[in-house]
Amino acid sequence: MPQSWKIDAAWEPLDIGQPEERACFAALGIFAHNICLTEGSDALANRLRQAPLLSGYHLAEWLAWNWWRLRWEPRSKAQDWAFAHRMTTIGHGYIWPNLTIFSDGERTALVAKPTDERPQTPFRYITDRAAVISASDFETEVDVFVEQIMERLRLSEVKESNLQTVWNGVLEERRSPELTRARKFEALLGSDPDETDSERLARMAADAEDLSIPAVEELAAEHGQSNTLLTGDELRRIAEERGFDSSPRDVVRLYAGTRLPRGEDVAAWRRGAHAARALRSQQGMGEQPISDKRLAEMAGVRRSILEDRNGAPGISFSLDDKPTEGRTVLRPKWHAGRRFELARILGDRVLGPKDGKLFPATRAYTYRQKMQRSFAAEFLSPFAAVDEMLDGDYSTESQMDVAEHFQVSELTVRTMLVNHGRVEREDLDGDLEIGAA
């Protein structure tokens, strides 16, 4: 299999700086899917170059220190998110590429943006591209690069570096299931290692035993959007006060043996849409709009859940107590929003982990949540029918007509058009893989 991304280091001499810096000074080029993410204009040499002169040591140190957050933390509104995900924050006097790295859990995005042209600045980055790789490929190349830097330090007889301490700690944590779980929780919360209160981690671990580890991970990722971490007790209270009875056993599911693409092989929106089309075909639904009654039946709830206009705090979710008993909570107040959230929860049961009691629909940008949103959009408003109705007219008025026909929001229709390349992405806050396709 071709290498999806690589950090190339060509060693260069350096006469000043700390021993670690001198040993690992290099022309560093970062490539993904044959795209150079570090190309720029060298004002001193008066030419373009793909590998600017940088400190390999400081890059490896940054990758090691932020390993858990780079590997697991999705896009977030957390105040210090940029420091863990943007190379421009590395510092140490170098002109670092304007490269942002983040993951949805299954796949990792590498987003390169040009830097501003300023007087007296010897190097200006010009790449304006996004690349998406599997998270496992991201892990592999970071391991290779950091070990390359460690070997360079050994050959230069530089001992007891901070990089060695940090990286050995990361490797030890990765070998321990218990430490891995704690570090992943912290990363999803938007915290650096050992920054999260031990009582909070203990509460999350207890909830994970009760509700399932993947479900609590999704709650942690939601923290980056709302700065709120719901506990199992709080979810049960909300379910009791604002939820509706549900019957998990009555929820429709895909037949055993239905083939879906693997998560790391395709963007979340593609996998979600694939599953929605498969379920529609299985149920003989064609491409017609789904009534409230049928949607509710397929989700194991009564139609009255869609008619309610009170909404609920926090997130939408289903919480199962028994195979035949549970509660479903929908956050939105408006009809189209409640249909969409119920379809998301249905999609989570179809596509998500099969064990556990909690099926959350959060505002996080994890693979699971993006897959839910895509499933809901395709299930409620099949793109083939949407495209046929629009017939090349992508005006706002036409999109509104289609949204009303399928009882979805205008944003749902516009997102689908962007996903399928019918309209430009513009500033739509959707799946970054759309822009990288």
CB 363 within 8 A of CB 225: yes
* Residues written for the chain: 437
Q: What is the mean pLDDT of the chain?
A: 92
> How many Å apart are CA 227 and CA 189, to the nearest integer?
9
Domain ranges across the chain:
5-175, 197-436
Helix (H, G, I), strand (E, B) or coil at 214: helix
> How many Å apart are CA 89 and CA 66, to the nearest integer?
12
The amino acid sitting at 110 is: L
Report, as ranges of residue numbers, the positions in the chain whose pLDDT lies below 50: 1, 427-430, 432-437
Q: Give residue 77's pLDDT.
A: 79
Q: Give residue 178's pLDDT.
A: 94
Q: Give residue 427's pLDDT.
A: 47
Q: How many CB atoms sit inside 10 A of residue 182's CB?
A: 21
Q: Give residue 95's pLDDT.
A: 93
Number of continuous H segments (helices) and E segments (strands) in the chain: 19, 14
Q: Which residue has the tokens 């008025």?
A: 397
Q: Give residue 80's pLDDT.
A: 87
Alpha-carbon torsion (402, 406, 410, 413), positive or negative: negative
Alpha-carbon torsion (60, 64, 67, 69), positive or negative: negative
Q: Give residue 428's pLDDT.
A: 40
> How many Å apart are CA 375 and CA 393, to the nearest integer?
24
Q: Give residue 434's pLDDT.
A: 39
Q: Give residue 354's pLDDT.
A: 81
Helix (H, G, I), strand (E, B) or coil at 328: strand
